[in-house]
Chains A and B, each alone.
Chain A
Amino acid sequence: DAGVIQSPRHEVTEMGQEVTLRCKPISGHNSLFWYRQTMMRGLELLIYFNNNVPIDDSGMPEDRFSAKMPNASFSTLKIQPSEPRDSAVYFCASAKTGAGETQYFGPGTRLLVL
């Protein structure tokens, strides 16, 4: 079975540009999480969706960040405008509610904002 799929794997952009990160969760999973990982702050939860509905977006750092989940098999995280301090690895994870709720992480998107 395919795991969580993320694209792009790497992104280099200039400050002020829009960045869109994409995630395809594992089929049958109904929970989706977006995380950000940096050396300074470790892994931080940005937003959590359950059954395509955003449940908790308290970790989204600013209005520049937005996330959508239009259907059960696709989610996006958008940063507009991007800033150098947004440089990080962004992970998407999915889980099946009630089945131990182990979160399975995608390979991540390494974002560098110049």
Chain B
Amino acid sequence: RKEVEQDPGPFNVPEGATVAFNCTYSNSASQSFFWYRQDCRKEPKLLMSVYSSGNEDGRFTAQLNRASQYISLLIRDSKLSDSATYLCVVKGNDYKLSFGAGTTVTVRA
């Protein structure tokens, strides 16, 4: 079983729509959680950290459910520029980041 599993998508949504997707992780001892964004042929970049109580960053909302070991990301009022692959990332109590394979989101005009 992979450490981090994501629905690969793609999620094709019109501009202005809301899109949400999850990832699950296998290690219950995981301590830190992140969403990274990767544009086509570019490097991954940190989008936001995910906190236990849930957190927002503008149009992006992240939630963590430790009991069920899943993390979610919701994008409101989606823009064309939100088209990317979103990587779910989990960290234990050491330096290692475990990356999901990514969820592809395409926002159409």
State whether A43 touches B43 (Cβ < 8 A). Answer: no
State whether A91 touches B97 (Cβ < 8 A). Answer: no
For B101, what are the chain A residues with a Cβ–Cβ distance below 8 Å?
A: 42
The reply on B1 being an interface residue by CB < 8 A is no
CB contact between A45 and one of B43, B49, B97 (< 8 Å): that residue: B97
Q: Give A28 to B95 CA distance when docked, in angstroms.
A: 17
CB contact between B95 and one of A42, A48, A100, A105 (< 8 Å): that residue: A48
State whether A107 touches B42 (Cβ < 8 A). Answer: yes
State whether A42 touches B43 (Cβ < 8 A). Answer: no
Closest Cβ of chain B to A99, distance in Å, is 13
Contact flags A94-114 to B (C-beta < 8 A → 1, else 0)? 010000111111111000000
Q: Give A42 to B43 CA distance when docked, in angstroms.
A: 13
Query: Can you name the residue of chain B whose Cβ is closest to the Cβ of A48?
Result: B95
Closest Cβ of chain A to B105, distance in Å, is 17
State whether B95 touches A43 (Cβ < 8 A). Answer: no
State whether A91 touches B43 (Cβ < 8 A). Answer: yes
Closest Cβ of chain A to B92, distance in Å, is 12
The 4 closest A-B pairs by CB, nearest first: A105-B43, A43-B99, A42-B101, A105-B44
Interface residue ranges, A against B (CB under 8 Å):
31, 33, 42-43, 45, 48, 50, 55-56, 91, 95, 100-108
Interface residue ranges, B against A (CB under 8 Å):
42-46, 49, 87, 91, 95-97, 99-102
14 chain-A/chain-B pairs, Cβ below 8 angstroms: A42-B101, A45-B96, A48-B95, A50-B95, A55-B95, A56-B96, A91-B44, A95-B95, A101-B95, A102-B46, A103-B46, A103-B97, A107-B43, A108-B42
